[in-house]
Structure 1
Amino acid sequence: MPHVRLQEVAQAAGVSVVTASKVLSPNSTGNNTKVSTATSERIREIARQLGYRPNLAARQLAGGSSRLIGLLLYSQSSPMEFARAAYVEEAAARRGFRVVICQCGASQESVRFCLDDFAAHGVDGAILLANAYPDLNEWIIGYARRLRHVVYYDRPLCDDGTCDYVEVDLTAGVRQLVDHLYAAGRRKIVYFLPYPEFPHGKYPSLIARERGFMEGMEAHGLPYDHDFAERFHFKSLPGNTELVRCAAEFIRVERPDAVITRNDNFAVVVLRALHESGLRCPEDVALAGYDNFEFTENLVPSLTTVDNRLTEVSECAVGMLVERIEKRGTAERRAEIFTPRLIVRESTGAGGRCQAD
């Protein structure tokens, strides 16, 4: 398909090239043309129909914005992390930006390659989802300063008070689960959290969830194993069959009346272990997961879980970055913290009721 030129879009829309450029390249320098909302919408629709794509190289040579946002992901991320990427792309597209995605490994060399790639593409700014490696975080913050603007998804461990970030209060999320189970009459609550050995230490997101469990148990005066956070540490995470066996043995020894799992995938493992052990959920053992994957509503029983409001958080991150790029808003550091929502379903005795607090 031949490249569609800006002149062709302008001709089809019945406007000048200057007017079309103002709409399709809003950050180009030296163009103060005023365009009505109706005309802008007509130009964008015609550009979409013709398949027009702006010449980013020419735009950058002219001193304009590339309208590109970099997004850094960890290559071993969970499916929820990739969902965040999709939400970021959607939010960016609504603002007229495209997203360049780079997946890094857990090494300085890999992160450097991705950040350099963003710089080579001339991105206007970047959102870093992969930044929480304990022994790399300070270096990442320093190296990322070569980019024009950066927003961190999760507060950087080595934040010096200047980093823009959005964060989900994971501690509050698990605390809500403990509070809910206590209110439902459960008194022997345990936490099932298998995790593999990490080359850079346990991630802050895991530690935050563990803290939520401890705070909830202590607040209600409930006993718990203070070494629980090290109980399911593996050199490498076992396959599903071994995890089910591990969960079944854990339930046999602990005799809980409620289980909280680190995420929804592990909740499915526990649900299978309960079934194979002849235990009913929620009658014998209540079960709660975390992340609110789509499949959780269709399990039998449907799964109580926590929703991290990723659509809203991603929207906020993109909005924050675009404000920096377009030089709107305050020059002060921006930080937004979101409280997750508890989703109550059948696995904790809700009888199919869904509650979002």
Structure 2
Amino acid sequence: MKRVCLKDVAEAAGVSAVTASIVLNGGSTRSRARVGAARQEEIRRIAAELGYRASAAARILKCKELNDIGLLFFENAQNIREHVGFTDLNIQFTRTCRELGIRCQVDWFDSLHHPDELPGLLTDGLVGGLLIAGNPNGESERFLREQCRMPFVRIEEPGEYSVMFDPAPALREALEYLAATGHRRLGFVNGPARFQRYRHIRGIVASETARLGMESPQEFYYEAEPYEDFSVDAVLAERRLMDCGEPPDAVLVSSAVLGKAFVSLLQQRGLRVPLDVGVVCFEATDWDALKFVPRLTAVEYDYTEIAARAVRMLQELMKSGTVREPRLLVPERFTVRDTVIDRRGRKQ
């Protein structure tokens, strides 16, 4: 016989999974106050009739403090597979917990396609705190915003407690390096402007190119979709930038995947990288930038550092209920490799 789950009770009672969880799995006094006494009794009656039993984890959470922590990705399976950052974050989170002697769990949930459901790690997982990566939607986002009793820290998304990457110092360093090595015309393949991060990066690039006296006109700019067909975006971006009368002598490209495709297209055009065109990637990881010939010069995420800081923040939050620095920025790093050369003859 199929085990009755929280969603079954919620549907039978005509309430959300969040409301059912509050009543059946021990929501806070403030949360329960939002559900009338009669309604609470009805939900309990329906749960008993259906044979619902709270999980062992939920029962433990009611009666003891847990020091285990979890990492919960809000994304679909395909995007998780294609996102090098999620892979690296998973590895570094697990490694950090092992080094600190903390038991941990990792899970993922597609809240975009299941907006009315809640992941088990939020409601009945054996963890005392969570790191949240990705973008929760629907009931998951409402539960985190309004009713979650468990301490949680967001990674790479703003929140009351968050740890995020700071691209500004490394991007400025990269642009200064390009200017210092004789590059004067910058092409820019960015992510879509609907995301605040890419608007922020575009602002940094615009202010720095102006300060450094580099040309970066609108015809040198292209926005690529991070989860669409990157090969199509690479072709369109390369044509837009390189079909200009006087094309750029350096290109800043979002992601190592798109950067590799861009380098290949430049070579097919008969251009030499880095002799004719320099290429710098951002939103890359070191291992992804290294697995290519030529090795990519890149602005890179430091997932070792962001995982360690996020775990420490969550531990502090679980222990004391607050943290000294609720919003941390982790600087990205700029690494020079083979796709940029000193155009004045000083080979790097």
Q: TM over 0.5: same fold?
A: yes
Q: Quickly say closer, same or farther: Cα 1:246–1:89, change in 2 above 3 A.
A: same
Residue 179 of structure 2 corresponds to 182
AA aligned to 1:237 is: E
AA aligned to 2:183 is: R
Where in structure 2 are the equivalents of 1:15-54 lying within 5 Å? none
TM-score normalised according to structure 1 size: 0.68
* TM-superposition CA deviations, 1:148-183 (whole Å, max 9, x none): 201111251xx4xxx111111123333332222111
SS at match of 1:109: coil
Residue 130 of structure 2 corresponds to 126
AA aligned to 2:64 is: G
Rounded to whole Å, the distance in 2 between the matches of 1:248 and 1:340 is 26
Find the partner of 1:299 among 273, 283, 292. 292
Residue 152 of structure 1 corresponds to 154
Where in structure 2 are the equivalents of 1:75-114 lying within 5 Å? 75=76, 76-77=79-80, 78-95=83-100, 96-106=102-112, 109=115, 113-114=118-119
* TM-superposition CA deviations, 1:11-62 (whole Å, max 9, x none): xxxxxxxxxxxxxxxxxxxxxxxxxxxxxxxxxxxxxxxxxxxx96886575
SS at match of 2:164: strand
Where in structure 2 are the equivalents of 1:242-253 lying within 5 Å? 242-253=232-243
* TM-superposition CA deviations, 1:265-288 (whole Å, max 9, x none): 111011111110000111100011
Find the partner of 2:328 among 303, 327, 336. 336
Q: Quickly say closer, same or farther: Cα 1:340–1:295, change in 2 above 3 A.
A: closer
Residue 198 of structure 1 corresponds to none
Q: Is the 8 A contact 2:69 2:103 kept in 1?
A: yes
AA aligned to 2:134 is: A
Rounded to whole Å, the distance in 2 between the matches of 1:209 and 1:306 is 12
AA aligned to 1:152 is: R
Rounded to whole Å, the distance in 1 between the matches of 2:337 and 2:287 is 13
Residue 74 of structure 2 corresponds to 73
* TM-superposition CA deviations, 1:293-320 (whole Å, max 9, x none): 4142243322100122111111110111
Find the partner of 2:145 among 142, 145, 148. 142
SS at match of 2:271: coil
Residue 273 of structure 2 corresponds to 281
AA aligned to 2:148 is: R
Find the partner of 2:315 among 322, 331, 336. 322
SS at match of 1:269: helix
Find the partner of 1:261 among 229, 253, 256. 253
Rounded to whole Å, the distance in 2 between the matches of 1:188 and 1:194 is 20
Residue 44 of structure 1 corresponds to none
Q: Is the 8 A contact 1:247 1:269 kept in 2?
A: no
Rounded to whole Å, the distance in 2 between the matches of 1:273 and 1:214 is 25
Q: Is the 8 A contact 2:253 2:259 kept in 1?
A: yes
Q: Quickly say closer, same or farther: Cα 1:235–1:307, change in 2 above 3 A.
A: closer
AA aligned to 1:72 is: F
Rounded to whole Å, the distance in 1 between the matches of 2:298 and 2:59 is 49
Q: Is the 8 A contact 2:58 2:124 kept in 1?
A: no
Rounded to whole Å, the distance in 2 between the matches of 1:207 and 1:61 is 44
Rounded to whole Å, the distance in 1 between the matches of 2:108 and 2:240 is 39
Structure 1 unaligned residues grouped into runs of 5+: 1-54, 196-200
Residue 52 of structure 1 corresponds to none
* TM-superposition CA deviations, 1:208-232 (whole Å, max 9, x none): 3222222221222333234766x44
Q: Is the 8 A contact 2:184 2:213 kept in 1?
A: no
Identity between Structure 1 and Structure 2 (%): 16
Rounded to whole Å, the distance in 2 between the matches of 1:339 and 1:235 is 22
Structure 2 unaligned residues grouped into runs of 5+: 1-55
Rounded to whole Å, the distance in 2 between the matches of 1:129 and 1:147 is 18
TM-score normalised according to structure 2 size: 0.70
Structure 1 residue 97 displacement after superposition: 2.0
SS at match of 1:180: helix
Rounded to whole Å, the distance in 1 between the matches of 2:59 and 2:316 is 23
